[in-house]
Chain A
Amino acid sequence: MAGLRLAAPLRYAALLGAFAAAVLPVAAAAAEFRVLHVRALSVTVDRMQGWVARPLHLTVRAVVGARVDALPELILPDLTAFQVLADSERIEHSTRGTTFTAVLTIAPNLPGRAVIGPAYLDALDPRTGRGMRYRSGTVTVSVLAAPPGEAQRMIAQVHRLLPLDALFVLAVIVGALWLLRPRNAARVDRAAPLPLPGTPPPADTLGPWIQRLRDAPTRANAVAARAALWSRLGAPERATAQDVLSELKDPAGRGAVAAAERAAFVEPSAEARAARDFAEALAGLVR
C-alpha cells in the first residue's frame, strides 16, 4: 500500500506496531504532521454477519481537502481478531481534495461479536494549527461458527427428525387456539386520535375564550385563546401558524388563525383591537 508502505500480508503486523506507537500523545508528534483538512474518515464492511474463516471486505475511507499522493498518517483499525488475507488501496484526486480508500480482505478467527475500528488519522487542524487525532466510527460484525452449507445440513437433519405432517398438525392446533382465545381479555388502550386540521372546533371549548376576549381584550388572553385554537385544530407539537394553515382549507378557520397571530404578536398599541378581532374570528369559526 503506497500510503502505508507495508509488505502484504505480513505488512499488517508492522501496521499494528504503528498502531501501538500511535497511542503516544498527539501533541508530542504534532510537529511531524501535515496540515490537512480531514473531511471524512470511515470504516465499513460489506456484511454485518460473517462466518469463521470466511472472507469479509473491510473498507477504510479517508477524504482530505488537499491533493496528496500518500496518506502515511492513516492508522488502520486493530484487526487482531481477524486474519488479513489481502489488501489494496486506491487514491482519487478531485477538485475537493483526495479520497484514500483501503480495502482489506479479512477472515474472522473466532465466533461471536467482533468490533472493528476505529481508524485514526493524525493531522494539524488548518484552522487552529493544533495536532488533532481524527477517529472513525466502529462497525460490529456478528461472526457465526457454521458457514451456510453446514447450517443447511442442520436444517435438513431437523426435517428428517420431524416430518412435515407433524408440523402441519401443530400449525392447525395453534391456529384453532388463536381463534378460540377469550374475547374479553384486557385490551391495550389506544390514544384517541387528534382531530384533523380543518375540522371545525366544537363551540364549547372556544366559546368561553370568545367571551373572555370580548370582556378583556389583552395579549395574555389572546395568547391563551390562540393555544386553545391550536389545540382544537389538532396542531402537532412545535407547529407554527404556517403548519396549521398548510392543512386548513376552511376559510373561517384560516381567518381565525391569521387573527390569532395578529392578536398574539402585534405591537402593544394595537393589542386590544387585535384581540377583539380575534374574538369575532373565533365566533365566526364556531357558528
Chain B
Amino acid sequence: MSLAPGLLRAALGRAVVGQEAMLDGLLMALLAGGHALLEGAPGLAKTLACTSMAGLIGGRYRRVQFTPDLLPSDVVGTRIYDQHDGEFRTQLGPAFCNLLLADEINRAPAKVQSALLEAMQERQITIAGETHPLPAPFMVLATQNPLDGEGTYPLPFAQVDRFLVKIRVESPTREQELEIVDRYGAGAPRLEAVASLDDVRAWQERARAVHVEPAVRAYAVDLARATRAHPLVESGASPRASLALVALARSRATLAGRDFATPDDVRSCAAGALRHRVAWSYQLAAGERDGERELAAIIASVTPP
C-alpha cells in the first residue's frame, strides 16, 4: 500500500498559502497523468506551486523560461558534433524530466510550442530520426499571464486542447496575503520530499481503477455537449473534454480516498476541463459578458444524476 495522495496535498498546502483550487488542480492533473496550464497575473505563486510539487515528490524537475528567441532544440534537445571524437552525439533537452515548468509558454514562437506540445502528446521525442521515450511520470506545467499580451504567441486552440486542465489563479485574500508576507518575508522555507515517483505511479494506477458509473459518465458527456449548444459558443468542447472530465473526476475521487466517482467529482472539475476548450463567439465580447460566468451557467444548467 503506497502513501496516500492526501499527504502530498497537505504538504503542498503548507508550502503555498491559499490557492486551494490551483493546488487541487495540479494534483488532479498529476494523478490523471495529464498536463496543466496555469493562467494568472505574475506573483500569484504559480511557479512556487510547481517547484514545491516537484520538490515534494522528489522527481527530476526542469524549468524553461519561454522567450521569443527560444528554439525547439532548446527544449527537446539536439545533435551536436563532438570535435574530440569526430562524431555527432545526442544532447537531450530539459524536456527529459518528470516535471517540466514551461514558464510563460505563450512568449515562445509557435515552433517551440509545437515541439513541446508534441512531446506532451506522444510522451516521446524524436531527434535526428532517433526516438527517445520521456520518463514516467512526465508532466508539463505551463504558465501564462493573461494581462501582458504584447509580443506573445497565443497558443492555438488545437494545442491548448492538449492540456488536461486549465487553472485560473486568483489573487489571495487579505488574510492569506498577510500570511504570505509573514511566511516568506525571511525567504522561502526548505521543502523535503514526502513522496517518491513510485508513489506517484501507484496513485496514477489507483486513479485509473476508480469506478465511474454509467450515469456519472453520461453526466460528463452531457456537460461537454452542453457547451456546443450554447448560442454564444463558436466551437464547443470536443469529446477529448469528456475524456478529460472523467479522468479528472477519477483523480478527485482518489484524492478524497474513494474508489468511485460521484457527480460532484465531475462538476467540480468541469470548469477546469472545459474553459480552454470552449471558443466563445465574438458576440460574447461585444456584449461585454464574461466567459467564465457563462461557463458556470452552462455547468449549472446540466442536471446531475
**In the bound complex, what is the Cα–Cα distance between A41 and B284 (angstroms)?**
10
Instruction: Say yes or no for A38: interface residue by CB 8 A criterion.
Output: yes
Segment from B110-118, B132-140, B179-187, B262-270 that makes contact with A:
B262-270
Instruction: Point out the residue from A40, A96, A265 that lies within 8 Å of B216, measured CB to CB.
Output: A265
Cβ–Cβ contact A267 & B149, under 8 A? no
Q: Mark B147-182, 1 if CB is under 8 A from A, else 0.
A: 111100000010000000000000000000000000
Cβ–Cβ contact B303 & A237, under 8 A? yes
Cβ–Cβ contact B148 & A95, under 8 A? yes
Instruction: Point out the residue from B213, B268, B282, B286 that lies within 8 Å of A265, measured CB to CB.
Output: B213
What number of residue pairs across chains A and B have CB atoms under 8 A from each other?
64
Instruction: Point out the residue from B259, B262, B301 that lies within 8 Å of A261, measured CB to CB.
Output: B262
Q: How far is the CB of A40 from chain B (nearest CB, A)?
A: 5
- A97-B149, A265-B213, A267-B259 given; A240·B288 CB < 8 A: no
**Secondary structure class of chain A's binding surface, majority of residues:** mixed
Contacts of A96 in B (CB 8 A): 149
Please name the residue on chain A nearest to B147 by beta carbon: A95
Please name the residue on chain B nearest to A43 by beta carbon: B286
Cβ–Cβ contact B216 & A240, under 8 A? no
**In the bound complex, what is the Cα–Cα distance between A175 and B188 (angstroms)?**
73
- A238-B304, A264-B213 given; A63·B262 CB < 8 A: no
- A95-B148, A95-B149, A265-B213 given; A240·B285 CB < 8 A: no
Q: Mark B105-137, 1 if CB is under 8 A from A, else 0.
A: 000000000000000000000000000000000
- A134-B282, A240-B304 given; A265·B260 CB < 8 A: yes
Please name the residue on chain B nearest to A40 by beta carbon: B285
Instruction: Say yes or no for A30: interface residue by CB 8 A criterion.
Output: no
**Interface size, chain A (Cβ < 8 Å):** 27
Q: How far is the CB of B166 from chain A (nearest CB, A)?
A: 19
Contacts of A137 in B (CB 8 A): 286-287
Cβ–Cβ contact A63 & B303, under 8 A? no
Contacts of A39 in B (CB 8 A): 285
Please name the residue on chain A nearest to B253 by beta carbon: A265
Instruction: Say yes or no for B300: interface residue by CB 8 A criterion.
Output: yes
Instruction: Say yes or no for A266: interface residue by CB 8 A criterion.
Output: yes
Cβ–Cβ contact A136 & B286, under 8 A? yes
**In the bound complex, what is the Cα–Cα distance between A44 and B282 (angstroms)?**
17
Please name the residue on chain A nearest to B259 by beta carbon: A267
**In the bound complex, what is the Cα–Cα distance between A241 and B258 (angstroms)?**
15
Instruction: Say yes or no for B274: interface residue by CB 8 A criterion.
Output: no
Please name the residue on chain B nearest to A266 by beta carbon: B260
Contacts of B282 in A (CB 8 A): 38, 41, 132, 134
Cβ–Cβ contact A95 & B150, under 8 A? yes
Contacts of A241 in B (CB 8 A): 262-264
Query: Which residues, 111 to 147 on A, are CB-close (under 8 Å) to B?
Result: 127, 132, 134, 136-137
- A265-B216, A266-B211 given; A40·B263 CB < 8 A: no
**In the bound complex, what is the Cα–Cα distance between A265 and B213 (angstroms)?**
6
Contacts of B262 in A (CB 8 A): 240-241, 261, 265
Cβ–Cβ contact B286 & A267, under 8 A? no
Q: Mark A238-273, 1 if CB is under 8 A from B, else 0.
A: 111110000000000000000001101111000000
Interface centre among B147, B149, B157, B260 (most CB of A within 10 A): B260
Please name the residue on chain B nearest to A97 by beta carbon: B149
Instruction: Say yes or no for B261: interface residue by CB 8 A criterion.
Output: yes
Instruction: Say yes or no for A101: interface residue by CB 8 A criterion.
Output: no
Cβ–Cβ contact B149 & A42, under 8 A? no
Q: 4 shortest A-B CB distances, which residue pairs?
A: A267-B211, A95-B150, A242-B264, A40-B285
Apart from A39-B285, A238-B304, A240-B267, list 5 A-B contacts with CB within 8 A. A40-B286, A40-B288, A95-B147, A137-B286, A240-B304
5 interchain pairs (CB within 8 A)? Answer: A40-B285, A40-B286, A42-B286, A42-B288, A237-B303
